[in-house]
Chains A and B, each alone.
Chain A
Amino acid sequence: MSKRLGWFLAAGLLVAALLAGVVSSFASGSPDGLDYAARQGCTFDADDEITGGTCMLQQEGDHQTAGSPLADYGIRGIDNEYLSTGLSGVLGVLITFGIGGGIFWLVRRRGTVASD
């Protein structure tokens, strides 16, 4: 890998880490498009519990990895919401880069030297 590509990757990762680590705390907390559709037809109380009606969300089951230390984009044990969300985001960026980049690197075409 060339030095120039290395700088580009480092800059890209920095941007991703800032987005996931800082900007993410200011993201909208409203249900996303799918969640919104899943809630259509039901009524909710102040605690967001279903109080009546028929909607997709009623059938939602528990998540198998709900006990993960990173579950729900936070870090278990860190109470500060900004810190918890931000750190989990930065970890997610690094883990995704590590796993994705690692697998792509392992299956890549060998024998060709990057020309730049």
Chain B
Amino acid sequence: METVAMHIANGIVNGPVSAVFLVISAAALAVCIWRARADLDDRLAPMAGLVAAFIFAVQMLNFQVLPGVSGHLLGGTLAVILVGPWVGALCVATVLIVQCLLFADGGLTALGLNIFNMAILGTAVAYLLVAALLRVLPKNPAGLSTTAFIASVVGVVVASQGFVFQYALGGTTDLALGGIAGTMAGVHVLIGIGEGLIAATTVATVARVRPDLVYALRRYRKTATPAPIGATA
């Protein structure tokens, strides 16, 4: 891998705006921790650790989207489907903090910006879409895959526009915003499609092996077939 910087670096967005987003992100994560406690039990806690570790791994796998342009998973959709919105946002944030502190990826000054775009904004949009789509789509691996794909594409594009918003507020170079917004949206549609394929494959696999571990299917399981094959141990 020649290119190793994947997230917003220091200096791209000015100090005051970075600081504001650090405060916003810290507050949002505090709310997530508070709400996550209701979800986290003896089963979800280790599962959430695995989701975070899996997102870390897949973020290393940059895939080509255009000649000279690659992309990687952000992970929000995957996380909210498997462990829910509050824990899911914390999973993505955990990955970003580990990457920033140990792997020098994503500036420390820019940590609030990165957490806001990927762990909060992209994840929130993904969750709203997942919740809406699963009301109408079948609650099986196929329906879950379709949901994951659509939520990934939209979530990734919205996260990329989060950066454009931050750059509009505190960008350190005088550049035309329209161009940045267009470039970011264009490549992130393609990255979102890649993320969608990875997320769909992953959640469908978990839904086949252990449907009881898929958070997004939980509320539908009471009315679903009482004993899916292999669900009782």
Residues in A with CB closer than 8 Å to B99 are 92
* Contact of A99 with B56 at beta-carbon distance under 8 Å, contacts A24-B1, A27-B62 already known: no
- 3 residue pairs, one from A and one from B, having the closest CB atoms: A101-B49, A61-B11, A100-B52
Residues in B with CB closer than 8 Å to A17 are 57
The CA-CA distance from A97 to B50 in the complex, in Å, is 6
Distance in Å from the Cβ of A116 to the closest Cβ of chain B?
6
Name A68-94 residues within 8 Å CB distance of B.
Answer: 68, 70-74, 85, 88-89, 92-94
Tell yes or no: B24 within 8 A of A by CB. no
Residues in A with CB closer than 8 Å to B105 are 72-73
Instruction: Count chain B residues whose beta carbon lies closer than 8 angstroms to a beta carbon of A.
Output: 83
Distance in Å from the Cβ of A25 to the closest Cβ of chain B?
7
Residues in B with CB closer than 8 Å to A100 are 48-49, 51-53, 90-91, 94-95
The CA-CA distance from A57 to B171 in the complex, in Å, is 11
B187 touches A33 (CB 8 A): yes
Chain B interface residues toward A at CB < 8 A:
1-12, 33, 36-38, 40-58, 60-65, 68-72, 87, 90-91, 94-95, 98-105, 107-109, 160, 163, 167, 171-175, 179-180, 183-184, 187-188, 190-191, 209-210, 212-213, 233
* Contact of A96 with B53 at beta-carbon distance under 8 Å, contacts A61-B11, A116-B212 already known: yes
Residues in B with CB closer than 8 Å to A46 are none
A65 touches B100 (CB 8 A): yes
* A55 interface neighbour in B47, B173, B190, Cβ under 8 Å: B173
Closest to B111 in A: A64
Distance in Å from the Cβ of B4 to the closest Cβ of chain A?
4
B46 touches A1 (CB 8 A): yes
Q: How many A-B residue pairs have CB under 8 A?
A: 261
The CA-CA distance from A107 to B233 in the complex, in Å, is 27
A101 touches B46 (CB 8 A): yes
A97 touches B49 (CB 8 A): yes
* Contact of A54 with B175 at beta-carbon distance under 8 Å, contacts A16-B57, A36-B183, A89-B57 already known: yes
Residues in A with CB closer than 8 Å to B41 are 108-109, 112, 114
A88 touches B71 (CB 8 A): no
Residues in B with CB closer than 8 Å to A59 are 11-12, 172-173
Residues in A with CB closer than 8 Å to B63 are 27-28
The CA-CA distance from A92 to B3 in the complex, in Å, is 17
The CA-CA distance from A17 to B167 in the complex, in Å, is 35
Distance in Å from the Cβ of A32 to the closest Cβ of chain B?
5
A101 touches B108 (CB 8 A): no
